[in-house]
Amino acid sequence: MNTYICRYCRQPSDPSAPTCPLCGAPVDIRSSVSDSGWVEQPPVKDMARLQFGQSHCQIAGTTVPVAEFNLAPNDWIYFSHHVLLWTEPNTSLTNMPMRGVWNRKLAGLPLVMVEARGPGHVALSENHAGEVVALPMQHGQQMWVREHRFLTATGNIRYDWHPSGVWYTTGSGDDQETHYPMGQFGDVFGAHEGPGVLLLHSPGNTFIRDLQPGQSLLIQPSSLLYRDVSVRMALHLEYPRNMGFAFWSNRWSYRSIWARLTGPGRVAVQSIFSPPEDTEIITNHSYATTHHW
Amino acid sequence: MIQCKWCHAQNQPGTTNCQTCGAPLDEADKVSDSGWREAPRLRDMVEFKFSGSTCQVEGELVPVAEISLHPQDGVYFEHHVLLWKDESVPLSSLNTGGGLKRTIGGMPHIVTVANGPGRIAFSRDAPGELVVLPLHPGMELDVREHAFLVASHSVQYSFIRIKGLVNLLHGGNGMYMDRFVTAGYPGMLLLHGNGNVLERTLRPGEKILVEPGGFLYKDSSVQMQAAQMPLKTGHLRHGMYLAEMTGPGRVGIQSMYVHHHAD
């Protein structure tokens, strides 16, 4: 009877294997936890194999890892075409229909998904130094993922996308601009047809944390990698006290923009992110908490 | 004697790193199930020799190749990969030919030559790996543009224009590939691959389809042409092309690249 629960993917796993066969995390290492409670996600070991259905995925490399799939005849995966690194000629590649092409175009999201069906090999990689994060999903489980972090999913994982609901505007009139610090849309993946595997690419290192009900924390909006759908997120605007610097003539334009995450549920952050750049006055925003120092 | 599995050079028993390419000799090869082999991850500060000179590799994220040149040796490179050098190391330029055509193709039409004695160091500007390719006499290797870091002066440098309108328009490999040839003498070629580098040896007639941005190098015996996939990409429904590689010979790929398809 297998009673080991992988501390990273939270699924029943094989304690005798060197790596978790579902997510690739090393089994024989101590958990690395910061004083504040962030758990460092260990990188998938070079050449570790993940099993799903009759197929498996092997992770090659550690700087920009490659996910190499050996697909069995009835298994398939889907992905954005720009992550395709190589394929065998006999692997079937077809377009996957997508809804809302115009909105996706406006949001800068990939317009085309590709289905790869076995039998055959196909390999995927992203374009940043970082880690491949595997999230095995049980039947009925859902996960929210920040846009552009999705690498691939098995065919039985349903893909949908929704507005992130986190935004603010600057300027006025013709110069008004709407900003989406967490992306205009978020990807939502659900295992509605049995268990499956979701693979993400996380630039930099990855840290995870479990939030208790009502517990909240502030993070850089673009650092969020994924969250349980039970975790709520909103803007938090923080205005440092103006210490008399004349060139910050308007205290409203000198601020920090945070994402407030509120539990319960699991959240993961990546260590590479892009902070919001502009310092113009915020004229409107989605629901936000505010603090003036 | 211990044979290096990467460059096949012979090394004295007890040696932990290959004296010819720096590859660790005491680690198992990392080969994926489909046959892609990871380029050896060079240990920080490892040294290897070519001709009378020594190369030391420093760093692991964006490695630096530091070369101690013998008085009779020289190396050449694209000038923007030069990181530092001893003041006394003389530099000269070598015209590659191709003039305006190379300029249009975004390629340098001169390479810089450094002669010994002295020290000189090179790096590119992205996380990745140094790929050390000792070339035996009579070898020909094709390298994607801007991936070449430095080569010893015994290696002949030329370039080949990628032929065919479909290859030029859709191949994603640019207009030119660098071609490195050794005639009567062995030589040393160092590349920088972005991300991780993997190599596979194709049998005669064996094919593999590679994202053109991921292509790094190949033996000149490997044929490369653009192959249209049954896929449409982007809102204009562009066709999608991959680079079809046909053996025999080695193919090297890099895992980080800027893909060439329109979104």
Q: Which region among A75-84, A101-110, B22-31 has the lowest average model confidence (pLDDT)? A: A101-110
Asked if A176 reaches chain B (Cβ–Cβ under 8 Å), the answer is no
Print the SS3 string covering chain B.
CEECCCCCCEECCCCCECCCCCCECCCCCCECCCCCEECCCCCCCEEEEECCEEEEEECCCCCEEEEEECCCCEEEECHHHEEEECCCCCEEEEECCCHHHHHHCCCCCEEEEEECCEEEEECCCCCEEEEEEEECCCCEEEEECCCEEEEECCCEEEEEECCCHHHHHHCCCCCEEEEEECCCCCEEEEEEEECCEEEEEECCCCEEEECHHHEEEEECCCEEEEEEEEEEECCCCEEEEEEEEECCEEEEEECCCCCCCCC
Nearest CB partner across the interface for A47, out of B32, B209, B232 = B32
Whether residues B261 and A82 touch (CB distance < 8 A) is answered with yes
**pLDDT given for residue A180 in this prediction:** 93
Amino acid at A236: H
Residues 31-60 of B with CB under 8 A from A: 31-34, 36, 38
Q: Name the most confidently modeled range: A234-243, A252-261, B30-39, B223-232.
A: B30-39
Q: Tokens representing A267?
A: 């959240």
Whether residues B32 and A58 touch (CB distance < 8 A) is answered with yes
**pLDDT given for residue B162 in this prediction:** 72
**pLDDT given for residue B263 in this prediction:** 38
Nearest CB partner across the interface for A46, out of B30, B231, B232 = B30
Substitution target in B29, B211, B225 with the highest count of A β-carbons within 10 Å is B211
Question: CA of B33, closest CA in chain A: separation in Å?
Answer: 8
Between the alpha carbon of residue B181 and those of residues A212, B7, B52, B110, B138, the distances in Å are: 63, 16, 20, 18, 7
- Separation between Cα atoms, residue B173 and residue A287, nearest integer Å: 47
Q: Select from B111, B112, B114 the least CA-distant residue to B73.
A: B114
- Whether cis (ω within 30° of 0) applies to the bond prior to A26 is no
Contacts of B195 in chain A (CB under 8 A): 61, 63-64, 125, 129
Nearest CB partner across the interface for A85, out of B33, B128, B253 = B253
**CA-based nearest residue in chain A for residue B261:** A82
Average pLDDT of the residues in A219-245: 88
Tell me the pLDDT tens digit for each residue of B44-54. Answer: 999 999 999 99
Q: Tokens representing B210?
A: 């590679």
Q: In chain B, pLDDT over 90 holds for what percent of residues?
A: 67
Q: Tokens representing B213?
A: 């941005």
Asked if B129 reaches chain A (Cβ–Cβ under 8 Å), the answer is yes
Contact B95, B129 (CB under 8 A): no
**CA-based nearest residue in chain A for residue B60:** A63
**pLDDT given for residue B3 in this prediction:** 95
* A vs B: CB pairs below 8 A: 118
Average pLDDT of the residues in B242-258: 93
- Separation between Cα atoms, residue B99 and residue B121, nearest integer Å: 27
Q: Which region among A160-164, A172-176, B245-249 has the lowest average model confidence (pLDDT)? A: A172-176
Average pLDDT of the residues in A17-40: 87
Q: Is pLDDT at A202 greater than 50 in this prediction? A: yes
**pLDDT given for residue B152 in this prediction:** 95
**pLDDT given for residue A178 in this prediction:** 92
Residue of higher predicted confidence among A207 and A12: A207
Average pLDDT of the residues in B5-18: 95
Instruction: Give me the half-sphere count of Cα atoms (radius 13 Å) on the Cβ side of residue B115.
Output: 7
Average pLDDT of the residues in B52-69: 95
Place of tokens 């690419």: A201
Q: In chain A, pLDDT over 90 holds for what percent of residues?
A: 61
Whether residues A111 and B233 touch (CB distance < 8 A) is answered with yes
- Separation between Cα atoms, residue A259 and residue A216, nearest integer Å: 10
Question: CA of B253, closest CA in chain A: separation in Å?
Answer: 9
Question: CA of A59, closest CA in chain B: separation in Å?
Answer: 8
Residues 6+ apart with CB under 8 A from B98: B107, B109, B159, B176
Q: Is pLDDT at A36 greater than 60 in this prediction? A: yes
Tell me the pLDDT tens digit for each residue of B81-97. Answer: 999 999 999 999 877 66
Whether residues B263 and A62 touch (CB distance < 8 A) is answered with no
Q: Is pLDDT at B202 greater than 80 in this prediction? A: yes
**pLDDT given for residue A1 in this prediction:** 45
- Separation between Cα atoms, residue B78 and residue B93, nearest integer Å: 10
Average pLDDT of the residues in B25-54: 95
Whether residues B253 and A87 touch (CB distance < 8 A) is answered with no
Q: Is pLDDT at B166 greater than 90 in this prediction? A: no
Whether residues A63 and B259 touch (CB distance < 8 A) is answered with no
Whether residues B33 and A111 touch (CB distance < 8 A) is answered with no
Contacts of A61 in chain B (CB under 8 A): 38, 195-196, 198, 255
Asked if B246 reaches chain A (Cβ–Cβ under 8 Å), the answer is no
Q: What is the mean pLDDT of chain A?
A: 88
How many Å separate Cα A35 from the centre of its chain? 24
